[in-house]
Structure 1
């Protein structure tokens, strides 16, 4: 995958953000800025090597082009991501989806898939979604 290096938990978080951004086939500047800010500022990414991002992006794009690629991506993510970071992963995904001010169509479906794959409690997921919506409101 990454020169035979296993996917790290941080890679998994980055891959989910990339997948959400790419889900509508339009990666917007606001989404890229949101991902960059998360990787540069959040404690969970404190020792992450940002040089891994282009390889993660390439892997995500490649998998999303395949028929069962999303399922394969989720399998890699579940293998790499500790359960205690599932809510963090969903929060980051929601923030990327909301970064451009709207969550529609494919992004909504991708968030639903992530919620299901990570087996998140519906009430917890709703709270995460509400927080993301609140953070991204405009005047």
Structure 2
């Protein structure tokens, strides 16, 4: 989630609020220590600033993500990307990379993306 938010080098308040809401309310984070968010964010930002940091980040994600949660992780990334109502090319590319790395097939990915668009649609 943090990598998607940071991918365009502009972490927006709406994205941070979305991350906080996801961690606070979704059952998957029921046992998660919310005090870790800052240290995880710092680590992700450090990795993204390194030359091969994205590959290292994806390796950490693959190693740490329990089996069966790839689509869940992708859905959370899509929600963060959609939270501010602005999806630029860099964020879209990051989502594409995440979908590929998590081995979420295109059809399921499209359904997840459509759900995120529907949840974060505004009247204007």
Bucket of the pairwise TM-score, normalised by the shorter protein = over 0.9
Q: Deviations over 1:7-52 (max 9, x none)?
A: xxxxxxxxxx000000000010100110000000000001110111
Structure 1 partner of 2:73: 89
Quote the Cα distance in structure 1 between the aligned partners of 2:84 and 2:112: 17
Quote the Cα distance in structure 1 between the aligned partners of 2:93 and 2:6: 12
Structure 2 partner of 1:112: 96
Structure 2 partner of 1:103: 87
Quote the Cα distance in structure 1 between the aligned partners of 2:105 and 2:67: 13
Structure 1 partner of 2:118: 134
Structure 2 partner of 1:8: none
Q: Deviations over 1:46-67 (max 9, x none)?
A: 1110111111011101100000
Q: Tell me if 1:33 matches 2:17.
A: yes
Where structure 1 has 5 or more consecutive residues not aligned to the other structure, the ranges are 1-16
| Number of residue equivalences | 123
With structure 1 as the length reference, what TM-score do the two structures score? 0.87
Q: Tell me if 1:79 matches 2:63.
A: yes
Quote the Cα distance in structure 2 between the aligned partners of 1:83 and 1:22: 26
Structure 2 partner of 1:4: none
SS of residue matched to 2:68: helix
Structure 1 residue 112: Cα displacement: 0.4
Structure 1 partner of 2:47: 63
Structure 1 partner of 2:3: 19
Structure 1 residue 102: Cα displacement: 1.7
